[in-house]
């Protein structure tokens, strides 16, 4: 049975070049980047080379790149590292749980938190952020691209709001990495977090842009790694892999790859929407198309339990994810779709298709063979299944 | 490729029984998909009204059980999914449970759950993902009788684990698509099979209590649930009367009582007193001696028949009126539309409205209903 993976927003496979770049750093160049001897120097050089690449990727200075364990650590660091009781924090209702749960925790500790709701299109209005500012506001955190809808947020305008107010600005750019060109100067952010595994790098490693002078407190203390901004022996193979992945991502941003992915996504979307009782979540504001990343579409299917559709598709060789949170035991339909104003039934009836940049026409063909059949099967079986939600 | 004719969805709770079912079917070469129904968030009422802050491990639907089920599926190399049915469970099981208690009856949520979730919904889910049959770890035997052209539900080999009492609501359609692979095994044999297939949870203790009520303290559960819902228990305080009609005290609500209850009546008496009757209309709770608890008859409604198409006249059965009750000989006859009356040969203690009555002919389940 052919298997097609359309869940790139969950994770991506290593590209062969990334695997090759990492290979020497497990056994041959195994040194600790903090050591004085040759082994240490080799490791240090590799980390620094990756730092240079990431600086180019972010458009910042190398000294402003901090390596860490991934997106969750970056998001947590921004929030726990800057906010103190009495501060005010503005973020949005559609953030990843790495931001939202961290916000819950600082709220318990006496930070005032404002969650900005998106418009039905999935966009955050910078004016809503500006309207929420208070004298005590210390940090604004907004994602670059939403993991479920792919909608790109107007971070530049939000950066201007932050600059005018003299407030720190963090961008959770995990879902934007490799999909849009980064420029932290243009974004006007002080902090920006990415994760390697969302752009064909290894899991368990990420990076954060920390603008010079940002008074962020390290979550982990110990050695003086990463200019005292993140203690812990550097994950050298992981960092090398992240560097290579960032280098390849910059090439893909220039060579037309994303146009090709967008064309595949658009065809997938267009063909699926031929099914009655379907629609795209977000991405449109009346006649105006809201900018989205190239690889993502979130589609609802009336009279279908998304959970069952995800399972049925998996058993037929198509890997996608549903409109609910990732883990077993979750009770609520997607907080992102709910915040956009969908009702529970429709949120639960939604699927996310997110294409790898290596996706092919044949992948889309296979998905288009399987999805309509599975949807019709589900609808025929339980025309009232939507009644379970509500 | 998934073949819809042969794929079996196993309902996996994370316990020994359903894990062993998955192992038996997977090792016999069947196409098996593991499903766990997520029914209740064990942390939901934590900290309210005497509900512990953190749920105990090893309870139905706890994350630990999901981990265990997932681990077994990974060990067996079968696809495994968690299916969230919390809203349906609340609507079809928890709310009726609360409503019944508040009305002075003693409900039995496991049968409701079997009727609505474990079979009805599971079969729907199985079909929607491309499986045609389901298998569960219930101890019961399910066979087709070509002569009667009916699916017959029978008591299992291990009578100490007999779960047919909770399965009387199964329809012919459900039975036709359900496998009970443990029906001919004893519990020790099941653990032996589990060990043979390398399931590390072979020694996991059985779960006993109502899965959504920590510690079996239903009064705390009712209070916590009502508080969460922003509702109040209806005012059902009333008189406590002796069986001769004499008022001997007052109580604070009929939901504090169940027929046969001895403790917590709040009256002093030289001989032990038991709840004989709860009248939801007058809020009157009648108490009396143990001997007065005995009833000669029971009436049941919302009937389901398994070994017979319908009850058309009197038949001899053995009737079971609670989970741990030894079925007693009775004559069963129709008593109106969707109502039957059983007359026991010997009076039975504590016939309790809200519980189910299940009727047996030898090992076969004839059918059952809900005691009114």
pLDDT in tens, B39-83: 888 778 877 776 766 655 445 556 678 889 999 999 999 999 998
pLDDT score at A390: 32
Measure the CA–CA gap between B97 and B212, rounded to whole angstroms. 11
Q: Closest approach of chain A CAs to the CA of B226, in angstroms?
A: 19
Chain A residues lying within 8 Å of B66, measured CB to CB: 328-329
Give CA A243 to chain center in angstroms.
18
Per-residue pLDDT for B4 more than 50? Answer: no
Q: A130: burial class by Cβ within 10 Å (0-12, 13-18, 19+)? A: middle
pLDDT in tens, A294-318: 999 999 999 998 989 999 999 999 9
- Residue by residue, DSSP assigns A18-61 as HHHHHGGGTTTT---TT-SSHHHHHHHHHHHHHHHHHHHHHTS-
* Confidence label for A387 from pLDDT (cuts 50, 70 and 90): very low
Q: Which residues contact A159 (CB under 8 A, 6 or more apart)?
A: A169, A186, A187, A188, A189
To the question of domain B295-371 being in CATH 2.40.30.10, the answer is yes
Q: What is the pLDDT of residue A330?
A: 55
Axis crossing angle, helix A236-254 with helix A38-58, rounded to the nearest 10: 30
Residues of B in contact with A328 (CB under 8 A): 36, 38, 63, 66, 70, 82
Could you tell me if B238 and B285 are in contact, meaning their C-beta atoms sit under 8 angstroms apart?
A: yes
- ipTM of this complex: 0.80
User: Rounded mean pLDDT of A163-179?
Assistant: 97
**Predicted confidence (pLDDT) at residue B3 exceeds the cutoff of 60:** no
Residue B59 corresponds to which tokens in the numbers above? 């309870």
Inter-residue contact A307 to A348 (CB < 8 Å): yes
Q: Yes or no: is domain B235-288 CATH 3.40.50.300?
A: no
List the domain boundaries for chain A. Answer: 4-12+256-381, 16-252
User: How crowded is the C-beta side of A273, counted as CA atoms within 13 Å?
Assistant: 12
Please state the separation of Cα B182 from the chain's center in Å: 18
Mean pLDDT of B99-127: 85
Tokens of A55: 């600086």
The separation between the first and the last C-alpha atoms of chain B, rounded to the nearest angstrom, is: 50
- Cα separation values, B169 from A387, B110, B308, B320, Å: 22, 11, 13, 14
- Enter the tokens of residue B166: 């909770």
The total of other beta-carbon atoms located within 10 Å of residue A131's CB is 12
List the single best residue of A306, A308, A325, A370 to mutate versus B (max B Cβ within 10 A). A308
State the pLDDT at residue A287.
76
| A1 with B130: Cβ contact below 8 A | no
CATH number of the domain at B8-137+181-216, please? 3.40.50.620
Would you say residue A180 has pLDDT above 70? yes
Both tokens of B224, joined, read 């916590």
CATH class of A16-252: alpha beta
Judged by CB atoms closer than 8 Å, whether chains meet at B41 and A329 is answered as yes
Give yes or no for a contact between A290 and A120, defined as CB atoms under 8 angstroms apart: no
pLDDT band with cut points at 50, 70 and 90 for residue A69: very high
Bridge partner residues of A333 (DSSP): A324
Can B8-137+181-216 and B235-288 be said to share one CATH topology? no
Give the pLDDT confidence score for residue A389 in this predicted structure: 37
Tens digits of residue pLDDT in A157-166:
999 999 999 9
What DSSP state is assigned to residue A117?
P
> Looking at the partner chain, which of B38, B121, B129 has a beta carbon nearest the beta carbon of A312?
B129
Residues of chain A whose beta carbon is less than 8 angstroms from a beta carbon of chain B are 1, 305, 307-309, 311-312, 314-316, 324, 328-331, 377-378, 381-382, 385, 388-390
Angle at the Cα of A317 from the Cα atoms of A316 and A323, rounded to 5 degrees = 85
For residue range A117-165, list pLDDT tens digits in order.
999 999 999 999 999 999 999 999 999 999 999 999 999 999 999 999 9
pLDDT of residue A104: 98
Assigned fold of A4-12+256-381: 3.90.1150
B7-24 average pLDDT score: 95
Read off the pLDDT of residues B157-185 as tens digits, 9 standing for 90 and up.
Answer: 999 999 999 999 999 999 999 999 999 99
SS3 of residue A357 by DSSP: coil
Q: Token pair 């022996």 is at which residue?
A: A233
B300 neighbors B256 (Cβ within 8 angstroms): no
pLDDT band at A323 (very low <50, low <70, confident <90, very high): low
- When pLDDT is averaged across residues A208-212 and rounded to a whole number, the result is 98
Helix (H, G, I), strand (E, B) or coil at B104: coil
pLDDT recorded at residue B56: 54
| CA A97/CA B107 separation, integer angstroms | 39
Residue B329 distance to chain A (closest CA, Å): 41
Choose, from A45, A107, A315, A326, the residue flagged as catalytic.
A326
Closest to B176 in 3D by CA, of B119, B254, B106:
B119
Q: Residue A60 catalytic?
A: no
- The mean pLDDT value for B215-231 works out to 85
pLDDT at res. B103: 84
* Residues in chain B whose Cβ is within 8 Å of chain A: 1-2, 7, 33, 36, 38, 41, 63, 66, 70, 79, 81-88, 121, 124-125, 127-130
Task: With CA atoms as reference, report the closest residue to A359 among A258, A255, A273.
Answer: A258
pLDDT (0 to 100) of residue A386: 41
How far apart, in whole angstroms, are the C-alpha atoms of residue A323 and residue A328? 13
Tell me whether residues A315 and B83 touch, CB distance under 8 A.
no
Q: Report yes or no: B219 and B101 within 8 Å, Cβ to Cβ.
A: no
Q: Which two tokens stand for residue A132?
A: 């929420």
The model's pLDDT over A258-278, given as tens digits with 9 standing for 90+, comes to 999 999 999 999 999 999 999
- Cα(B358)–Cα(B170) distance, integer angstroms: 12
- Decide if pLDDT at A335 tops 80: yes
| CA–CA distance, A106 with A73 (Å, rounded to integer) | 15
For residues B66 and B16, the answer to whether their CB atoms sit within 8 Å is no
Distances (CA, A) of A33 to A54, A173, A225: 18, 27, 9
Question: Cβ contacts (< 8 Å) between B90 and chain A: which residues?
Answer: none
DSSP letter string, A197-237: GGGTS-TT-EEEEE-TT--PPPSS-SS-HHHHTS-S---HH
Contact B211, B40 (CB under 8 A): yes
> Which positions in chain A touch B87 (Cβ < 8 Å)?
388-390
Dihedral sign for Cα A343, A346, A348, A353, please: negative
Beta-carbon separation of B87 and A388 below 8 A: yes
CB B17 within 8 A of CB B144: no
Which residues are CB-neighbours of A158 under 8 A, at least 6 positions away?
A124, A126, A129, A140, A142, A169, A188
Is-contact A108 A154, C-beta < 8 A?
Answer: no
How is chain B split into domains, by residue range?
Answer: 8-137+181-216, 235-288, 295-371
The pLDDT value recorded for residue B324 is 86
Beta strand A321-322 pairing with A350-354: antiparallel
Q: Average pLDDT, whole number, for chain B?
A: 89
Lowest mean pLDDT among A235-239, B148-152, B206-210, B293-297: B206-210
Distance CA A240, CA A207 (A): 12
Q: Nearest CA of chain A to the CA of B87: how many Å?
A: 7
Q: Write out pLDDT tens, residues A184-203.
A: 999 999 999 999 999 999 99
Is the pLDDT score of B10 beyond 90?
yes
Nearest CB neighbour to A307, from listed B2, B84, B124: B84
Helix or strand (DSSP H, E) at B278 = strand B274-279
């Amino acid at each position: 049975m052919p298997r097609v993976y359309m869940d790139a927003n969950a994770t991506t496979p290593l590209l062969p070049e990334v695997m090759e770049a990492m290979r020497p750093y497990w056994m041959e160049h195994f040194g600790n980047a903090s050591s004085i001897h040759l082994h240490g120097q080799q490791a240090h050089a590799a980390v620094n080379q990756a730092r240079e690449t990431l600086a180019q990727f972010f458009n910042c200075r190398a000294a402003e790149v901090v390596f860490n364990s991934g997106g969750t650590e970056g998001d947590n660091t921004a929030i726990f590292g800057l906010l103190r009781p009495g501060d005010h924090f503005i973020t949005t209702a559609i953030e990843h749980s790495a931001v939202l749960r961290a916000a819950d925790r600082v709220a318990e500790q006496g930070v005032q938190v404002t969650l900005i709701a998106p418009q039905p299109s999935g966009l955050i209005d910078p004016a809503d952020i500006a309207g929420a500012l208070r004298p005590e506001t210390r940090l604004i955190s907004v994602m670059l691209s939403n993991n479920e809808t792919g909608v790109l947020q107007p971070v530049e305008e939000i950066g201007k709001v932050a600059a005018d107010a003299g407030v720190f600005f963090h961008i959770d750019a995990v879902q934007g990495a490799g999909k849009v060109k980064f420029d932290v100067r243009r974004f006007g952010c002080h902090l920006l977090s990415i994760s390697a595994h969302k752009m064909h790098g290894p899991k368990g490693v990420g990076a954060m842009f920390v603008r010079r002078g940002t008074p962020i407190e390290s979550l982990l203390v110990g050695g003086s790694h990463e200019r005292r901004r993140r203690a812990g022996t550097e994950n050298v193979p992981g960092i090398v892999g992240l560097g290579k992945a960032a280098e390849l991502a910059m090439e893909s941003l220039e060579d037309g790859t994303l146009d090709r992915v967008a064309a595949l996504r658009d065809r997938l979307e267009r063909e699926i929407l031929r099914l009655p009782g379907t629609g795209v979540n977000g991405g449109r504001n009346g006649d105006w198309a809201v900018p989205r990343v190239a690889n993502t579409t979130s589609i609802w299917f009336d009279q279908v339990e998304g959970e069952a559709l995800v399972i049925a598709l998996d058993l037929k060789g198509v890997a996608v994810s549903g409109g609910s949170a990732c883990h077993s035991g979750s009770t609520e339909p997607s907080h992102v779709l709910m915040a956009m104003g969908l009702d529970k039934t429709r949120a639960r009836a939604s699927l996310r298709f997110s294409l790898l940049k290596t996706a092919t026409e044949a992948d889309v063909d296979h998905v288009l063979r399987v999805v309509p059949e599975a949807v019709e099967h589900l609808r025929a079986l339980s025309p009232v299944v939507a009644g379970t939600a509500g | 490729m998934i073949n819809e004719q042969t794929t079996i969805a196993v309902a996996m709770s994370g316990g020994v029984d359903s894990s062993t079912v998955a192992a038996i079917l997977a090792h016999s070469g069947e196409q098996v998909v593991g499903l766990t129904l997520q029914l209740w968030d064990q942390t939901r009422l934590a900290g309210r009204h005497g509900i512990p802050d953190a749920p105990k491990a090893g309870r139905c639907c706890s994350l630990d059980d999901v981990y265990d089920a997932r681990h077994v599926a990974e060990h067996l190399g079968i696809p495994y999914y968690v299916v969230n049915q919390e809203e349906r469970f609340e609507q079809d099981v928890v709310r009726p449970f609360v409503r019944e208690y508040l009305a002075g009856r003693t409900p039995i949520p496991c049968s409701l759950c079997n009727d609505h979730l474990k079979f009805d919904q599971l079969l729907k889910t199985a079909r929607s993902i491309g499986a045609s049959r389901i298998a569960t770890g219930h101890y019961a035997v399910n066979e087709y009788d070509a002569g009667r052209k009916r699916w017959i539900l029978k008591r299992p080999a291990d009578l100490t684990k007999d779960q047919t009492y909770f399965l009387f609501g199964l329809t012919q359609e459900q039975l036709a698509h359900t496998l009970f692979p443990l029906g001919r095994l004893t519990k020790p044999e099941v653990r032996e099979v589990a060990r043979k297939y390398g399931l590390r949870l072979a020694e996991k203790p059985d779960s006993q209590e109502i899965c959504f009520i920590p510690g079996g303290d239903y009064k705390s559960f009712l209070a916590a649930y009502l508080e969460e819902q922003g509702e109040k228990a209806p005012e059902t305080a009333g008189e406590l009367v002796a069986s001769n009609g004499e008022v001997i005290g007052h109580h604070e609500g009929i939901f504090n009582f169940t027929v046969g209850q001895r403790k917590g009546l709040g009256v002093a008496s030289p001989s032990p007193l038991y709840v004989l009757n709860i009248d939801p209309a007058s809020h009157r709770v009648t108490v009396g001696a143990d001997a007065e608890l005995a009833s000669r008859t029971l009436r049941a409604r919302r009937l389901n028949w398994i070994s017979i198409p319908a009850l058309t006249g009197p038949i001899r059965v053995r009737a079971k009126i609670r989970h741990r009750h030894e079925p007693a000989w009775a004559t069963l006859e129709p008593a109106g539309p969707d109502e039957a009356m059983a007359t026991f040969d010997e009076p039975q203690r504590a016939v309790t409205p809200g519980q189910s009555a299940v009727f047996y002919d030898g090992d076969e389940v004839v059918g059952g209903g809900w005691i009114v």
